[in-house]
Chains A and B, each alone.
Chain A
Amino acid sequence: MLLRAIILVGPVAASLALYFSLSLYVFPQSYQIEPRRPEAVITNVSLSTAEVKLEGTFVISVTGTNRGEEADMQIVSIGFPNLTRADNIEVLKHIFVQTPILIDAGKPVGSEYAGNGRPVDAQYASVEAFSRPWAGGSSYNIDLQVRPQTEGMFAVFVKSVAFPHSWDGAHWPHEGISDYQKEFVEVYHVQVTKP
């Protein structure tokens, strides 16, 4: 009886020891999984005009590229610090995989290149165009029609962030002005004049 129990328990215990050692130690140690290194770049920004009359519109075209490894997601963000509502922005056309999101001031957005891990409230209107996944070497473009609401200098903030954000090359630009999301942006201007 005792011998039978030993014969039974021995192999079962050995199997469990094998399972736990494989699962907890051997396999996890054997996988050297390095985070992918996507490289986000804005390769083209063009404005239809440098000056627009109040109540008029202008078109901004932005192209983002991933020059690195495949990104789980890459965002091209176009912010409008002089607008609080996104209903003054219209997506004319885009070739992103998913539908771009129009963001009003007050809506929660990610920050500090951490995605949704550190949400903050948006301080102005913006458009987030993204592809999930975004293959290395591919580019996506978006054209927006914008209607400024006040006279003066109308600013446009452009940036791109790739995820996983595994290195500094995963965001563009790498330096310059930092926005409320504590992420660098490239600034473009359009002069808005009296109608």
Chain B
Amino acid sequence: MNYFRQSPAQSIIGSSSRFLAGYVLVSLGVLLAAGGGSWDINNHLLNKPETFFAPPHAVLYSGAGAAVAGAVILFLTSRRTGATIRPIKLVVAGVIILVVAGPVDFAWHSAFGLDGLLSPPHFVLVSGMIASSVGALAGMVYHGSMAFRELRLHPLLIIIGVLPVWLAASGMIDMFSLPFSRTDYFDFNPHPALGVTVATLAFPVLISVLACSSSALAGKRFGVMTAVGAAFIATGMLTSIVPNGALVQTLPFYAANIIPFAAADALLSFSRSRISLYAAGAIVALAFFTLYYPLITYTYGKVLEQNTIWPSLMAPTYFKMLGTVMPLVVAPAAAMGILGAAASGKLIAKNKAL
């Protein structure tokens, strides 16, 4: 019997820093790619670029490059340890999708010129971003739980892991809700009612699942959910508000989104009851309409028959519709928030069982 031979779990722990580097690189790569994607949407609104070689695309594909490097590290390390766990398979699959989507996107641009938000290559690209970021987060949780012997993660890793998942999944919801997908060749725009339905139901669930999961991964310690919310708000400011000079003065309004996160975070850190979890989910979900400002103006503007929203008038248009939309979306958003909190509880329980 070879007493020096390590078990797969031991060798995984032994290579944990390399695994961690791989996961972090993938997450940061997707974060960069998703941030670049968000900037790209605004760039299309403001400057109507006509070439594939635009600065936001450079950021997007630099992020994809970082994700590829991370996936390579993970793949090689897992081959060396002889244990390719499911999160690594998910990361590798996601990154392969990302790599394939790049040239397909370029070819699509070459064939059809300016493309819309929802196009086959963009759908593939965002799917790859979601798969790889979810894989990286799950991998961090897996290795973190082996080190801590419980389902916990360092607060910084929670932010690094959760934020790209949030941004990539938001990108997917944007594709099926924003009316930015009509071009000379194709009209992939969702029906206005469908767009509003998707946004009203999907954004609150997403916010709730990720915010409640962040809190759970931090052992319900106060601060982490708020920090994840703050990171999302900061990203939104940098990619959606600051590039449009007309919106800069609304930064304090957008910053107020931190309040529901802090309230929900406090609730969860002081009370472990199921009701508190559901209440926290509902509270963060209620903020979806202000959290997805300014682009959500276009989704709801379409159904309110405001067909042309000029970038410089986005803020007054949004504030005009805020009083109409908010009372209508409070109930479904809260319900979806509760659903998201329940799903988060299930997800965490399932991971604990593993």
A interface with B by C-beta (< 8 Å): 8, 11-12, 15-16, 18-19, 22-24, 27-28, 31, 33, 35-36, 70, 72-73, 97-99, 114-117, 132-133, 163-164
Contact = CB atoms under 8 A, between A and B. Distances in A.
A22 B256 contact: yes
Contacts of A70: 312
B263 A31 contact: no
A31 B319 contact: yes
Given A33-B315, A35-B313, A16 B270 contact: no
Contacts of A22: 253, 256, 259
Contact of A115 (B262, B263, B308): B308
A99 B311 contact: no
A40 to B, nearest CB: 14
B253 A164 contact: no
Contacts of A15: 259-260, 262-263, 266
Interface residues of B, number: 38
Nearest to B263: A15
Contacts, number: 94
The 6 closest A-B pairs by CB, nearest first: A15-B263, A27-B253, A28-B319, A19-B259, A72-B310, A115-B308
Given A23-B256, A24-B326, A11 B266 contact: yes
A163 B310 contact: yes
B283 A16 contact: yes
Interface in B48-82: 48, 50
A106 to B, nearest CB: 14
A36 B250 CA distance: 16
Interface of B: 46-48, 50, 246, 249-250, 252-253, 256-257, 259-260, 262-264, 266-267, 270-271, 276, 279, 283, 286-287, 290, 307-308, 310-313, 315-316, 319, 322-323, 326
A35 B308 CA distance: 14
A160 to B, nearest CB: 16
A132 B263 contact: no
A116 B322 CA distance: 24
A75 to B, nearest CB: 12
Contacts of A8: 266-267, 270-271, 276
B263 A117 contact: no
Contacts of B319: 28, 31, 33
B46 A24 contact: no
Given A19-B259, A115-B308, A28 B283 contact: no
B307 A35 contact: no
B307 A116 contact: yes
Given A8-B271, A31-B250, A164-B313, A23 B290 contact: yes
A33 B316 contact: yes
Nearest to A28: B319
A175 to B, nearest CB: 25
A117 B290 CA distance: 26
Contact of B47 (A12, A18, A132): A132
Contact of A12 (B249, B263, B287): B263
B256 A164 contact: no
B323 A19 contact: no
Nearest to A19: B259
Contact of B312 (A12, A117, A164): A164
